[in-house]
Amino acid sequence: MLSRAACSTSRRLVPALSVLGSRQKHSLPDLPYDYGALEPHINAQIMQLHHSKHHAAYVNNLNVAEEKYREALEKRDVTAQIALQPALKFNGGGHINHSIFWTNLSPNGGGEPQGELLEAIKRDFGSFAKFKEKLTAVSVGVQGSGWGWLGFNKEQGRLQIAACSNQDPLQGTTGLIPLLGIDVWEHAYYLQYKNVRPDYLKAIWNVINWENVTARYTACSK
């Protein structure tokens, strides 16, 4: 079960600037299942490349960017600090997003959530079917690369669906707390589904880890 720390994923993964000098480097998290565990819905080749190459690259590049940022802070080089913002946002977002994504999936996933999350979905979207249809449509409609998200609006106390471009992190760019993210970058599906994103999105619902999504919702809605 997730703790309340699930509500501040982005804050945990991207440390405060004041402690950059003494921080430990970010590392690639292990998957909670084998690369082939999500087959036939997402094949092993995609999972291996996605995790060990793409996510690893975000982690490595984030560490490099943070080291450069630390040096810029020490030198009081504001121009360099500003110039590094895109790299921090892109690679930091990539690390945050994928760290959530892997736990949102499970070989024992699929179906519908239960309990308070299902009730919240019915309250805010009308039914689970309508929610699924809307998140799928938003994810299909992402132009180029990005993510479809189910998030929690803490101020309004309700669920919201949103799309983010590239690797923009949901919480850092919209304020919504991330519960469920669907990666629609082509590297997440092209080797299996080619350029037919809707087929990938139809398949991914079979491996959604509703226990994880529910735990995130429970932690953030208290």
The answer to whether position 105 is within a domain reads yes
14 inside domain: no
How confident is the model over 21-64, as pLDDT tens digits?
456 899 999 999 999 999 999 999 999 999 999 999 999 999 99
Residue 104 in contact with residue 34, Cβ under 8 Å?
no
Q: Rounded distance, CA 191 to CA 49, Å?
A: 10
Within-domain flag for 51: yes
Q: Which pLDDT does position 23 carry in this prediction?
A: 65
pLDDT of amino acid 24: 85
pLDDT computed for residue 211 by the predictor: 98
Q: In this structure, is residue 45 part of a structural domain? A: yes
Does any domain span residue 21? no
Annotated binding site: 50, 98, 183, 187
| β partners of residue 151 | 160, 178
Annotated binding site for Mn(2+): 50, 98, 183, 187
pTM of structure: 0.89
Q: Which structural domain, as residue segments, surrounds residue 199?
A: 41-221
CATH code at 74?
3.55.40.20
Could you give the CA distance from residue 82 to residue 92 in angstroms, rounded to a whole number?
Answer: 15
Q: Using 70 as the pLDDT threshold, list the residues of the chain that sit under it.
A: 1-23
Is residue 2 a part of any domain in this protein? no
Number of domains comprising the chain: 1
Structural domain includes residue 104: yes
Q: Which long-range contacts (CB under 8 A, 24 or more apart) does 185-189 make?
A: 185/54, 185/145, 185/146, 186/145, 187/46, 187/49, 187/50, 187/54, 188/46, 188/50, 189/42, 189/46
| C-alpha span between 219 and 159 (Å, rounded) | 14
Nearest to 170 by CA among 135, 202, 137, 204: 135
In a domain, 161, yes or no: yes
